[in-house]
Amino acid sequence: MIVRKTHRVIIQGITGKQGTFWTERMQEYGTQIVGGVNPKKAGTVHCGVPVHASAVEAAKQDGGVDVSVLFIPPLGVKAAALDAIGAGAKGVVILTEHVPVQDVMYVMAAAKERGTKIIGPNTAGGVTPGECFTGFMPAFNQRIFKPGNIGVISRSGSLGTLMCLNLVQAGFGISAFVGIGGDPIIGTTTRDALEALDAFENTDAVVIVGEIGGAMEEDAAEYAATMSKPMAAFIAGGAAPEGKKMGHAGAIVMGDKGTYQSKRTALEGAGVTVLDTPSHVGAVIKEKMAA
Amino acid sequence: MNFEEHAGKPLLKAAGIPVPDGGVAETAADAAAIAGRIGKCVVKAQVPTGKRGKAGGIKLASDADEAGRHADAILGMTIGTHVVGKVLVEAQTPFTKEFYAAVLNDPVTKGPKVLFSHLGGMDVEEAAEQDPDAMKSLAVDVRTGVDADALADLVAHMGDLAPVLADLLAKLYRAYADNDAELLEINPLAVAEAGGLIALDCKFVLDDSAIKRREDLAAKGTPDKLTGLEARGQELDLKYIELDGDVGVLANGAGLTMTTMDVVRHHGGTPANFLEIGGEAYTKGTDALRLVLENPNVKSLVINFCGAFARTDVMTDGILTAWEELKPDLPTFWSVHGTGDEEAVQMLKDRLGVTPLPTMDDACKAAVEAAKNMEAAQ
């Protein structure tokens, strides 16, 4: 899902160092933060919003929660995410890296049952330029997240940020940045994000930033083939050796599975231009939008 | 984290799945002693990789002497990239049929998946070629665990064996769930001549993200084989992978670091390493620069930051601290954007007299050229 400024957002783990720092940044930017969660500090006020014992409590007292953002250590994520799902959140953003996969799968099953969208784990979050952001993205940097009409999907926060920068340098702006995360099992896949951006207002073209490993880009290519919006993609990891996890748990080539070439072929077959380097994105999008 | 067969099988045994009697030996004499106890046996190289049989790492022995001779030949052998340091000596199990069974984490259903095939004893791709419909799979809700009726349906085509297979798969699922497995596989799962099912091999992969709550178990696994520099990286809690090129790469975030390698290659160079200092590691610039410089093959360096969570000024300050101490004589090219970039650029100007290049392509290209010039000059 794409988070909007009308969404009521809570921060689980709001009182920690990173929770505090990024809550302040999100508030400055325009994210509507209505509360936080820390069972040990329930009843206090932090970053100008009430701290609750749980997301369920926060949902009661704030008159509903649309989105929860988790600044929670790996082994606490399962309980916190289930709390957010129980609170009726429509979206749960899990930033944490190294969450045990069985915990992730548990959360996914509970979310599916309730119709909750999970974003992440291991994502830097999302940005809706000019409106709001969730997570730890440099949304406030106008040279990177200038509002505009290009949607960007990325498994990587840093590389996705660079892609947005390149687009803005080329004279474009960003309608929404969806950071989906670098884990092998994630709630919002490349295809899910592509469908969301296809339907999103003011989005006239889409850039997919993928990586080696898994089959999400191949799956997204099936949907891309049905789209009329111009699309470009970059797949990181073409120079990576086989059998090594390249920093992200999901970025690994095993034999002929998850290879750069498989993704490139699938995307090109769907009419998506695959870039040799992120620096080409502006020129390619310009050309495809003019066509 | 991968586990060798002898370290995985106890998990099956604990779940009530029969495995052959046997023991682990690191010397030929110990292997012979185990064989002396169990009789006709099979001597199996213990390495975390497949294709051991084809490599000559699995041999049948009819007595202790023969087992000792086989162990002597297998110990020290290289299979794939692994040198054999242990053998598993197990009782020979005459069997009539071989199957395949596994439970794994499935990114498509985002839950566990139970797999069963009546074609066992070969690799999965080979079996798929022989009969594409042979592999049966069952998606499981991890919250409730595997359903007995669904398992019965999964193996219903197996006739008389269906009830025992369903029971075995339930036990396999339990072992998978209890041990935070990423993959737990039995191939082959045999029907013993003497009756009953028995696991003749075991592949267990522990979810790396679960190691912190499975420390006792993880101690029995096989850590990834690391080069000296990679081991140093691990000590420093930095993600460092040694590669065979000569352009050093230092960036933040997995995606950006991979991309920096890709762009180095795109411009005709070869990356010397993967090293990322994003996320929680973004304060480790000093250690990171030291690590890159320790690789003697590095002829030039590209430092590529695009800050989100990781502040570029903090990372740059870390690098400069090491730089001022080490004063390396290495052509280095910077590209710095994102959170804290104005401060970082100013810092580079003040402390190093350097201005970052406008794009990562410029930095990568310059580093590739510098490495080539260094090579030519040598």
pLDDT-derived band at B299, boundaries 50, 70, 90? very high
Residue pairs between chains A and B whose CB atoms are closer than 8 Å: 180
On chain B, the residues whose CB falls within 8 A of the CB of A239 are: 258, 261-262, 264-265, 271
Top residue of A102, A189, A211, A244 to mutate, by most chain B CBs within 10 Å, is A102
What percent of chain A clears pLDDT 90, i.e. is strictly above it?
89
Identify the weakest region by mean pLDDT among A40-49, A132-141, B126-135. Answer: B126-135
Instruction: Taking the CA atoms of B151, B154, B156 and B157 in sequence, report the sign of the dihedral they define.
Output: negative
Closest approach of B217 to chain A, Cα-based (Å) = 15
Task: Count CB neighbours of B324 within 10 A.
Answer: 11
Mean pLDDT of the region A41-57:
97
Contact A210, A263 (CB under 8 A): yes
Among residues A46, A52, A248, A280, which one is catalytic? A248
Mean pLDDT of the region B162-171:
98
Q: Nearest chain A Cα to B143, which residue?
A: A106
What percent of chain B clears pLDDT 70, i.e. is strictly above it?
100
pLDDT-derived band at B130, boundaries 50, 70, 90? confident
Could you read off the pLDDT of B249-272 as tens digits, one per residue? 999 989 999 999 999 999 999 999
Identify the burial level of B73 via C-beta atoms within 10 angstroms of its C-beta, where 0-12 means exposed, 13-18 middle and 19 or more buried. Answer: middle
Predicted pLDDT at A271? 97
Could you read off the pLDDT of B5-51 as tens digits, one per residue? 999 999 999 999 999 999 999 999 999 999 999 999 999 999 988 78
Q: Going along chain B, which residue ranges are E strands? A: 2-3, 22-25, 41-45, 58-61, 78-79, 82-83, 87-91, 95-106, 111-117, 136-139, 181-192, 197-199, 203-206, 239-242, 247-251, 273-276, 300-307, 332-338
What's the rounded Cα separation, in Å, for the pair B134 and B200?
20
On chain A, the residues whose CB falls within 8 A of the CB of B258 are: 159, 211-212, 236-237, 239-240, 246-247, 251
Could you read off the pLDDT of B80-122 as tens digits, one per residue? 889 999 999 999 999 999 999 999 999 999 999 999 999 998 8
The token duo for B120 is 């066992």
**Which candidate from B209, B307, B359 shows the least CB-CB separation from A101?**
B209
Q: Nearest chain A Cα to B182, which residue?
A: A101
Closest approach of B60 to chain A, Cα-based (Å) = 30
Which of B226, B228, B227, B351 has its CA nearest to residue B285?
B351
On chain A, the residues whose CB falls within 8 A of the CB of B308 are: 124, 136-138, 157-158, 161
Top residue of A159, A186, A208 to mutate, by most chain B CBs within 10 Å, is A159
Could you read off the pLDDT of A190-207 as tens digits, one per residue? 999 999 999 998 999 999
Residue carrying structure tokens 């309608």: A175
Residues ≥6 apart with Cβ < 8 Å to A157:
A123, A124, A125, A135, A136, A137, A179, B253, B255, B278, B308, B309
On chain B, the residues whose CB falls within 8 A of the CB of A23 are: none
* Active-site annotation holds for A7: no
Q: What is the mean pLDDT of chain A?
A: 95
Contact A36, A52 (CB under 8 A): yes
Q: How far is CA B370 from CA B189, B302, B320, in A?
A: 56, 10, 21
Which of A82, A84, A79 has its CA nearest to residue A57?
A84
Predicted pLDDT at A62? 66
Contact B201, B188 (CB under 8 A): yes
On chain B, the residues whose CB falls within 8 A of the CB of A100 are: 180, 207, 209-210, 213
The token duo for A259 is 């290879």
Closest approach of B193 to chain A, Cα-based (Å) = 35
Cross-strand pairs, B337: B306
ipTM value for the complex: 0.93
The token duo for B25 is 């030996």
Strands A174-179 and A205-211: unpaired
Helix B285-294 vs helix B228-235: crossing angle, to nearest 10: 170
**Could A209 and B339 be called an inter-chain contact, meaning their C-beta atoms sit closer than 8 Å?**
no
Q: Nearest chain A Cα to B145, which residue?
A: A106
What's the rounded Cα separation, in Å, for the pair B316 and B350?
12
pLDDT-derived band at B163, boundaries 50, 70, 90? very high
**Which candidate from A158, A209, A248 shows the least CB-CB separation from B252?**
A158
Identify the weakest region by mean pLDDT among A21-25, A200-204, A239-243, A276-280. Answer: A239-243
Instruction: Using the predicted structure, report yes or no on whether residue A119 has a pLDDT greater than 70.
Output: yes
Instruction: Using the predicted structure, report yes or no on whether residue B378 has a pLDDT greater than 80.
Output: no
Angle at the Cα of A55 (from A50 to A56), degrees rounded to 5?
A: 110
Identify the burial level of B144 via C-beta atoms within 10 angstroms of its C-beta, where 0-12 means exposed, 13-18 middle and 19 or more buried. Answer: exposed
Contact B364, A239 (CB under 8 A): no
Q: What is the mean pLDDT of chain B?
A: 94
Could you read off the pLDDT of A149-169 as tens digits, one per residue? 999 999 999 999 999 999 999
Residues ≥6 apart with Cβ < 8 Å to B159:
none
Predicted pLDDT at B192? 97
Identify the weakest region by mean pLDDT among B79-83, B192-196, B366-370. Answer: B79-83
Instruction: Using the predicted structure, report yes or no on whether residue B282 has a pLDDT greater than 80.
Output: no
The helices-and-strands tally (H runs, E runs) of chain B is 13, 18
Give first-to-last CA distance, chain A, whole Å: 29
Extract long-range pairs of B261-265: CB within 8 Å, 24+ residues apart: B261/A239, B261/A240, B262/A236, B262/A237, B262/A238, B262/A239, B262/A277, B263/A277, B263/A278, B263/A279, B263/B360, B263/B361, B263/B364, B264/A239, B264/B302, B264/B364, B264/B367, B264/B368, B265/A238, B265/A239
pLDDT-derived band at B375, boundaries 50, 70, 90? confident
Predicted pLDDT at B94? 96
Residue B74 backbone dihedrals phi, psi, to 5 degrees:
-80, -40
What's the rounded Cα separation, in Å, for the pair A271 and A194?
14
What percent of chain A clears pLDDT 70, i.e. is strictly above it?
100
One-letter amino acid identity for B219? A
Identify the weakest region by mean pLDDT among A24-38, A101-115, A253-267, B167-181. Answer: A253-267
Predicted pLDDT at B10? 98
